[in-house]
Amino acid sequence: MKLRHLLLFCVCFPVVLAAQGLDPADIQKPKPGTWPTYNGDYSGRRYSGLKQINAGNVRDLKSAWTYVTNAGTPKSIFGSGDVKSTPLMVDGVLFFTEPDNVWAIDARTGHEIWHYQWESKGGIHIGNRGVGIYRDWVFFEAADDHLISLDKNTGKFRWSVQIADVAQQYFSTPAPMVIRNHVIVGVGGDSLDVPGFLEARDPETGKVQWHWNSEPRPGEPGAETWPDEESMTHGGGMTWMPGTYDPELNLLYWGTGNPNPVHAAQGRRGDNLWTCSTVALNPDTGKLVWGFQASPHDTHDWDNVQTPILIDGEIKGAKRKLLAVASRNGYFFVLDRTNGKALVSVPFLDLNWSKGVNEKGQPIPNPAKEPKVDGTLVVPASGGATNWPPPSFNPETGLFYFSATPSYAVYYLTDTGPKPEGYGGRDTQLWGESVLIAMDYQTGKIRWKHVYPGQSQPHLAGILTTAGGLLFTGDPSRNFIAFDPVTGKILWHAKLDDETSNGPMTYELDGKQYVVVGAGATLHAYTLQN
Amino acid sequence: MNHQKIVLLVVCLAFFVSDTALGGPHSPQEPTLPAQNTTPADKSKNGQQGPPPGFDFQKAVRDFMATGEPPDPEAVKRGQAVFAPNCGFCHGSTGRGGSGGPSLVRSVLVLHDAGTSKEIYPVVHNGRISKGMPAFPLSEAEVKDISAYLLSLVQATALRDEYKILNIVTGDAGKGETYFKAHCANCHAPNGDLAHVASKYELVALQTRFLYPKTEWFPGMPPPDPRELSTATVKLASGQSYAGVLNKIDDFGISITDASGAKHSWEFDAEPGITYEINDPLKGHRDLLKQYTDDDMHNILTYLETLK
């Protein structure tokens, strides 16, 4: 080898190493200390094995750095400028988003490495859950329904493809999910009764690999749960949150949104499959393997997109492959994730909209509590008994943790015609409070709960649990808190200048564990004080 | 679907709608808070103190909902007049589908037209003979007006916070009065604090407020009724005691404003032995929320509506 070549080799080799990026196998089995996908791993547990920060030393947890996004720009009162994404930590870099924006920052220091901004063509900018990474490519969904690929190391634009039509009021919020060479993308939008779908896209070209419709088409199984073709092809069922994946079963689990029109349901009598459901798809073909509908014929905007967490556990002494969801309608479900059969269906609040559960474990909606012209008083409000902020399952405590809100609203029907469009109704929220719930997944019994004091408007918060015997979450009073996950005792807190707005995450670099949370437009990182 | 922040949006709107647009509380009749009271503002979201006075909330919501600018109302009126006789038979008098023609409110072509008439004009001018739609010899200006009208229909469908709530006075006033006497009369009197309450509030605001009066507030909105605010008495280990309006309480501290307007805050960690008592005047409303049937709700509203 000539000296020049040797020099070239030496200069290029580290670059080549860095350029290998994130192998999809390292999402399936994350390298210790990394956080390579929205939920940290495919299970959706948001449980980290890291324990340098633990119950014994958490009092010494201090701010390591903060990063303020789009500093100096005025903030939207609708939360468009909040960090709702969970950062990915790959190769010592954090990747996170707000609508139309992606940042790569140094995970040790919080210094910006690159920032990419997409020129928006429209869409509701309510939030963005983050990126997916495949090798050297970063993927995110813009509010105007484009899937955009960037170079992970430079932030340089590679390509964009349109995945839905913003003129039809689709808008996109999920973090793309990478499984092998599939980039799974979902969509949102329910202003104008559009059908939901899920797609796999090619990471190199953005081309469609498969397309799954939330609603059946005429003649397909499930079509009998809609009155006609028009209702099912305008039926909603948005796929606006990332899903989970079981590599052994090769099943992709995804939650779907509510049916449309949202509140005025007289034009869509029937159960309206597969809205408000957990579905299991083959990630290579997009074919439905099973579905479980959490809210048959929903009329209250209670989508079922809350993280379907995969638990390898026990029910009644038998080892089972399980899937657990705390649903926006106020029910906690545990399913057999091989076949979708419900094993636990229990309300976690005092609800007043259902008449119990049927033989399949599905709540039976009480028609008297559907929206009416003069109003119906319903628990919970349309924001739900819980919502998208990520829950956590801790295998050591066997508890499923989530943020919930007992809340009341009056639901009005405003469109009484035979074929309503849009929402066809609205609700006025009355009162609600925020509660952190620790649920025994085997029984659906609440082991402990913490009611945050002094509030009348709920704030739901994402949750992280760790092997350090800690549960991290936020309260409605702008505190970031560490709880003891066994007892619910508060062990530590930090005052922030905003409520937490994403799911907290953790990673380890150079032997140091960090915990990171977003609150409004700021990302906060904490480490132990040396 | 609808995410958490939309809820906030609706909550905010509920204030604006119930307290301003619908002719809400005539605050001059009610005592106002000291200007330095920041309780509700502390609750405003996103680390800011709310929008400045004069902030056009409806426009902000429309911008957020990304439905585009509203069309010229005059063009909409003219367009409706052209639409009804020419298009209404097939597409319905409100454009939502009729005898053979599809709904135009969620027509992809209409949505892409977005009030420009660029997409609609060729269809109207040439017809869609294969689908049974004849050509209409309408002028470009007339089609432009139809296009504006259709955009107004699309926006009226998509902007759910502007939906008009219909008749909600459906109960039995007599039963409502009986319920009131049994459950509400301890705190409220129809010829006292509730005299003429029905002329102070629009119906939806009245219903919302009797179910649960709000305390959330930010600058630019009418201040809350001081009767809604919680008060607290705080006792320190030294025996010293403070009382006032509760500004904030969380798991780590408490803050009040006393009668002189002075603000006091304590961190529980720094104040061993601190105790406090909170009096929340809205507790009765919360307890009733858990008990009302829908009939109770309708009856009470119908009774309150008689208190003009």
Residue ranges of domains in chain A, CATH in brackets:
20-528 (2.140.10.10)
Kindly state the greatest CA–CA separation across chain B: 90
In terms of phi and psi (left: phi > 0; alpha: psi -120 to 50; beta: otherwise), the region of A123 is left
More confident residue, B31 or A124: A124
Optimal mutation site among A173, A304, A377, interface B, most CBs of chain B within 10 A:
A377
- Mean pLDDT along residues A432-458: 92
Q: How does pLDDT run across A317-360, given as a tens digit for each residue? A: 999 999 999 999 999 999 999 999 999 999 999 999 999 999 99
- Residues in chain B closer than 8 A to A168 (CB atoms): 106, 108, 111
CB contact under 8 A, B2 and A301: yes
pLDDT of residue B58: 87
pLDDT at B126 over 50: yes
pLDDT at A441 over 70: yes
Is A301 known to be catalytic?
Answer: yes
Residues of chain A numbered 439-458 and touching chain B (CB < 8 Å): 452-457
DSSP state of B21: I
Confirm or reject contact between B158 and chain A (CB < 8 A). Answer: yes
Close Cβ partners of A72 (under 8 Å, ≥ 6 residues apart): none
CB contact under 8 A, A78 and B64: yes
pLDDT of residue B215: 61
Pick the CATH number of B230-280 from 1.20.120, 2.60.40, 2.30.30, 1.10.150: 2.30.30
Which residue from A55, A56, A60, A58 is spatially nearest to A484, judged by alpha carbons?
A: A55
pLDDT at B17 over 80: no
Close Cβ partners of B128 (under 8 Å, ≥ 6 residues apart): none
CB atoms within 10 A of CB A418: 8
Residues of chain A numbered 171-190 and touching chain B (CB < 8 Å): 171, 173, 188-190
Q: Which of A11-20, A247-256, B89-98 has the highest mean pLDDT?
A: A247-256
More confident residue, A176 or A20: A176
Confirm or reject contact between B21 and chain A (CB < 8 A). Answer: no
Which residue from A194, A162, A340 is spatially nearest to A258, judged by alpha carbons?
A: A194
Residues of chain A numbered 143-162 and touching chain B (CB < 8 Å): 143
Nearest neighbour of A192 by CB, restricted to B158, B165, B212: B158
Number of H helices, E strands in chain B: 12, 5
Contact A88, A102 (CB under 8 A): no
Confidence of residue B1 (pLDDT cuts 50, 70, 90): very low
CATH number for the domain whose boundaries are B73-158: 1.10.760.10
- Residues in chain A closer than 8 A to B1 (CB atoms): 188-190, 236, 238, 240, 257-258, 301, 303, 305
Which residues in A375-413 are b (16+ Cβ under 10 Å) and which e? bbbbbbbbbbbbbbbbbbbbeebbbbbbbbbbbbbbbbb
Which residue from A507, A217, A262, A500 is spatially nearest to A382, judged by alpha carbons?
A: A262
Which residue from A221, A305, A213 is spatially nearest to A271, judged by alpha carbons?
A: A221
pLDDT of residue A192: 93
pLDDT at B21 over 50: no
Could you give the C-alpha distances from B121 to A358, B109, B113, B125, B128, in angstroms and in order? 53, 11, 9, 6, 12
Q: How does pLDDT run across A188-219, given as a tens digit for each residue? A: 999 999 999 999 999 999 999 999 999 999 99
Phi, psi of A195 (to 5 degrees): -80, 145
Instruction: Provide, rounded to the nearest whole percent, the portion of chain B with pLDDT above 90.
Output: 73
> How near does any CA of chain A get to the CA of B2, in Å?
7
CB contact under 8 A, A303 and B165: no
pLDDT of residue B11: 39
> How near does any CA of chain B get to the CA of A318, in Å?
36
The rounded distance, in Å, linking the Cα atoms of B70 and A481 is: 45
Confidence of residue B37 (pLDDT cuts 50, 70, 90): very low
- ipTM of the prediction: 0.92
Helix (H, G, I), strand (E, B) or coil at B168: coil
Say which of A190, A193, A301, A427 is annotated catalytic: A301
Confirm or reject contact between B252 and chain A (CB < 8 A). Answer: yes
> How near does any CA of chain B get to the CA of A305, in Å?
9
Which residue from A396, A408, A247, A389 is spatially nearest to A326, judged by alpha carbons?
A: A389
pLDDT at B118 over 80: yes
Q: Which of A67-76, B43-52, B121-130 has the highest mean pLDDT?
A: B121-130
- Residues in chain A closer than 8 A to B246 (CB atoms): 454
Nearest neighbour of B294 by CB, restricted to A240, A376, A479: A376
- Mean pLDDT along residues B31-46: 29
Close Cβ partners of A319 (under 8 Å, ≥ 6 residues apart): A312, A313
The rounded distance, in Å, linking the Cα atoms of A305 and A192 is: 19
CB contact under 8 A, A408 and B47: no
The rounded distance, in Å, linking the Cα atoms of A368 and A162 is: 42
The rounded distance, in Å, linking the Cα atoms of A391 and A301 is: 20
- Residues in chain B closer than 8 A to A128 (CB atoms): none
Helix (H, G, I), strand (E, B) or coil at A353: coil
Confidence of residue B227 (pLDDT cuts 50, 70, 90): confident
pLDDT at A1 over 70: no
CB contact under 8 A, A453 and B47: no
Q: Give domain limits for chain B.
A: 4-63+170-225+284-304, 73-158, 230-280
Residue B248 CA, chain-centre distance (Å), reads: 25
Q: Which of A196-200, B23-27, B73-77, B97-101 has the lowest average pLDDT?
A: B23-27
- Mean pLDDT along residues A394-407: 97
Q: How does pLDDT run across B137-149, given as a tens digit for each residue? A: 999 999 999 999 9
CB contact under 8 A, B249 and A80: no
Alpha-carbon Rg for chain A in angstroms: 22
Return the bridge partners of B139, or none.
none
CA dihedral A90, A95, A96, A100 (to 10 degrees): -140
